[in-house]
């Protein structure tokens, strides 16, 4: 009952927010939802959709590397308490699938939040560059105030939310959603190069799943064109 009630509440809240603001987005910022519109009409293999998925994975990986690198620095140099990976990913394949599904829900909420915050800032400020700067400043301030060493994390959050702003401005809603999903999952993975560890298989499966998504995005985005032209070496 708890799971059902939570699911119904989240889907209802997100759905109402989307339906309330989506017509205004189509009127004032239609380019941000072009690939999203194609996806919702069932065009899963549309090259533009695949292109945005590919870039979402790339930006999510960059996001993950930036946060993980700074986390290692603070752990080694400043004595920060290490952030433990998701316990579910340590226990097996069934729990790993559960983490995937949970992160899908979480990334939908975060995507809607980021996307409509950027949209409203663009409407209110009437300047996309100013709206981007304010967007980055607001989220950076919000996250930095919760850090033990804000002077270290301010540049990190500027980069992270700069990536989020770039994803939604340059590519649109799908890339932002995929980037958030990729980062959320990869930041939860207990990485190891010792494949005798019991969780090594699950960790590798998670990484390979995003390699597969990126590969699908790259192949489909070609739109049937050959990667190497036949007359390239002629």
pLDDT tens-digit series, residues 81-107: 555 556 666 666 677 777 777 788 878
Q: How confident is the model at residue 57 (pLDDT cuts 50, 70, 90)?
A: very high
Q: Give the model's pLDDT for residue 46.
A: 86
Q: Give the model's pLDDT for residue 234.
A: 54
Average pLDDT on 77-83 reads 53
Highest mean pLDDT among 37-41, 179-183, 227-231: 179-183
Task: State how far the Cα of 129 lies from the Cα of 136, in Å rounded to an integer.
Answer: 11
Task: State how far the Cα of 189 lies from the Cα of 214, in Å rounded to an integer.
Answer: 18
Task: State how far the Cα of 113 lies from the Cα of 202, in Å rounded to an integer.
Answer: 30
Structure tokens at 106: 């979480």
Average predicted confidence (pLDDT) for the chain: 80
Number of H helices, E strands in the chain: 8, 0
Q: Is the pLDDT of residue 230 over 60?
A: no
Task: State how far the Cα of 217 lies from the Cα of 222, in Å rounded to an integer.
Answer: 9
Task: State how far the Cα of 190 lies from the Cα of 201, in Å rounded to an integer.
Answer: 11
Average pLDDT on 111-117 reads 85
Lowest mean pLDDT among 12-21, 170-179, 193-202: 193-202
In sequence order, what are the residues at sequence separation of 6 or more whose Cβ sits closer than 8 angstroms to the Cβ of residue 233? none
Task: State how far the Cα of 185 lies from the Cα of 101, in Å rounded to an integer.
Answer: 10
Residues 88, 95: contact at Cβ < 8 Å? yes
46 compared with 74, residue with greater pLDDT: 46
Neighbour tally for 108: CB within 10 Å: 17
pTM: 0.80
Q: Is residue 11 classed as helix, strand or coil in its secondary structure? A: helix
Q: Give the model's pLDDT for residue 88.
A: 63
- For 122-147, the pLDDT digits (tens) are 888 888 889 899 999 988 888 888 77
Task: State how far the Cα of 51 lies from the Cα of 53, in Å rounded to an integer.
Answer: 5
Q: Give the model's pLDDT for residue 212.
A: 92
């Amino acid at each position: 009952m708890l799971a059902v009630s939570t699911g119904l509440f989240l889907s209802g809240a997100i759905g109402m927010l989307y339906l309330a603001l989506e017509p205004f987005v189509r009127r004032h910022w239609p380019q941000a939802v072009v690939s999203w519109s194609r996806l919702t009409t069932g065009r899963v293999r549309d090259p533009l959709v695949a292109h945005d998925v590919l870039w979402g994975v790339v930006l999510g990986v960059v996001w993950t590397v930036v946060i993980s690198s700074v986390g290692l620095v603070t752990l080694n140099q400043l004595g920060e308490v290490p952030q433990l990976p998701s316990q579910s990913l340590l226990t097996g394949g069934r729990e790993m699938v559960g983490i995937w599904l949970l992160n899908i829900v979480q990334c939908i909420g975060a995507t809607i939040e980021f996307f409509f915050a950027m949209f409203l800032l663009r409407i209110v400020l009437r300047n996309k560059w100013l709206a981007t700067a304010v967007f980055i400043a607001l989220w950076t301030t919000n996250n930095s105030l919760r850090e033990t060493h804000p002077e270290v994390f301010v540049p990190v959050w500027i980069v992270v939310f700069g990536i989020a702003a770039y994803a939604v401005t340059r590519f649109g809603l799908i890339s932002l959603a995929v980037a958030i999903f990729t980062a959320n999952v990869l930041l939860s993975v207990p990485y190891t190069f010792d494949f005798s560890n019991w969780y090594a298989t699950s960790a590798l499966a998670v990484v390979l799943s995003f390699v597969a998504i990126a590969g699908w995005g790259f192949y489909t985005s070609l739109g049937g064109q050959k990667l190497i032209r036949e007359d390239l070496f002629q």
